[in-house]
A and B are shown apart, each in its own frame.
Chain A
Amino acid sequence: MSTTTTDVQSHGGHGEHEHNPYHQHHFTTMEQQFDTSKLGMWLFIVTEILLFGGLFVGFGLMQHRYPREFIEAHEHLKQLIGGHPFPLYGAVNTIVLLVSSWTMVMGVNAAQTNQKDKTVRYLVITILLACVFLVIKYVEYSHKFADHLLPGMFYGHQAEDLIKGTHGYATFFAFYFMMTGLHGIHVLVGIVLLSWLAMRAKRGDFTSEYYTPVDLVGLYWHVVDMIWIYLFPLYYLIS
């Protein structure tokens, strides 16, 4: 009897004997349901790419307009390490996000393979890394606030190498705070989503049959990482 049951399931996939509680009846199979959700997530990701893409294009335009100011202003994102300017905060945050992407994908893998405890553990580590990212961001922003390196009309840095209130520097910091701020909001949303996932995973909601939320939040988290992959060289490295 048991062999015939597994046969029906593996071939047909309708699973009428064991109806998965998360199987919505307007989908024929769990797999179809999963693929549909994933397709929708990818469409959302495209809107994210275009949202940040527009900001990157604006940044490129303004860099072309104020090349000298942008290069001078970006030096303020670096810290002196052993007498040499180095983008410490940016580089550390890049590593933090890359590692968090890895823990995320390991979490998805654990959910796929029915390893409940491992899923929870990887999700919690991902949340902690996201918090580390935001703490570093907070320290970085605090330095900028203290130096009055603020966007647009609030700009008021008084150092010798920068002239107070010039358009180029104010524009650079307007883009800097807009783009890293919007990215930071995405990290914050990610923390909320990951916490929700961790709670559900602990409750035992996810199995190899149903792990759609883990997979989709994973995709979202990798997009956040991907945006930072472009933000880091453009803001912290280009000279």
Chain B
Amino acid sequence: MSTHTESHSHGGPKIYTANLFALLFLTIITVAAASFNFGAANVVIALAIASVKATLVALFFMHLVWDKPINSIIAIAGFLFLGIFLMFDFLDVTTRDHMQPRNMPVMENATPVPDTMNPLKAAPPKPLEPAPATEEHK
């Protein structure tokens, strides 16, 4: 009976309480860091602190430190695929300005498109501006 209980009882109130204070401390840090202007680094700092907090929750509150490794593998796999999703999204957004229609090769055997639907024939191509600069809403 005792061995069975021990195999499951892990952590303990002391570790949990310490973890709570670490999380509250990091919350204060992230609020304080946001009041300074680091430019683009603000987002990175905020997400880095959030990731440290999420890791603390997963390791100690969700028992992953003491658990069978299979649960950690599943959790990491989830975040890994989210990372792939985010990475390709980032690549798309940051390189979109270099992919203008006029730079694309004309396809030889493509289905003919009516002239009115072909932007290259309907109007002369003009360079696209980065998305934020366009005033598409009035």
A231 to chain B, nearest CB (A): 9
- Interface majority SS on B: helix, strand, loop or mixed? helix
Range of interface residues on chain A?
A: 35 or more
**Does B120 have its Cβ within 8 Å of any Cβ on chain A?**
no
As a 0/1 sequence over residues 140 to 164 of chain A, the CB contacts with chain B under 8 angstroms (1 = contact) are: 0000000000000000000000000
Q: Is the CB of B9 within 8 A of A113?
A: yes
Chain B interface residue count, Cβ-Cβ cutoff 8 angstroms:
55
Q: Which of A42, A53, A87, A233 contacts B85 (CB 8 A)?
A: A53
User: Contacts of B54 on A, CB cut-off 8 Å?
Assistant: 226, 229-230
Question: What's the Cα separation between A92 and B25 when bound, in Å?
Answer: 14
Residue picked from A60, A229, A230, most chain B C-beta under 10 Å: A229
- Interface majority SS on A: helix, strand, loop or mixed? helix
Given A98-B27, A99-B20, A222-B57, A46 contacting B49 (CB threshold 8 A)? no
Given A10-B4, A39-B71, A208 contacting B27 (CB threshold 8 A)? no
As a 0/1 sequence over residues 98 to 115 of chain A, the CB contacts with chain B under 8 angstroms (1 = contact) are: 110110111001001100
Question: What's the Cα separation between A102 and B24 when bound, in Å?
Answer: 11
**Does A6 have its Cβ within 8 Å of any Cβ on chain B?**
yes
Q: Is the CB of B53 within 8 A of A10?
A: no
Q: Is the CB of B75 within 8 A of A38?
A: no
Given A6-B1, A208-B5, A237-B34, A45 contacting B50 (CB threshold 8 A)? no
User: Contacts of B46 on A, CB cut-off 8 Å?
Assistant: 233-234, 237-238
Residues of chain B whose beta carbon lies under 8 Å from any beta carbon of chain A: 1-5, 7-9, 11-13, 16-17, 19-20, 23-24, 27, 30-31, 34, 37, 42-43, 46-47, 49-50, 53-54, 57-58, 60-62, 67-68, 70-71, 74-75, 77-79, 81-82, 85-86, 89-90, 93, 131-132, 136-137
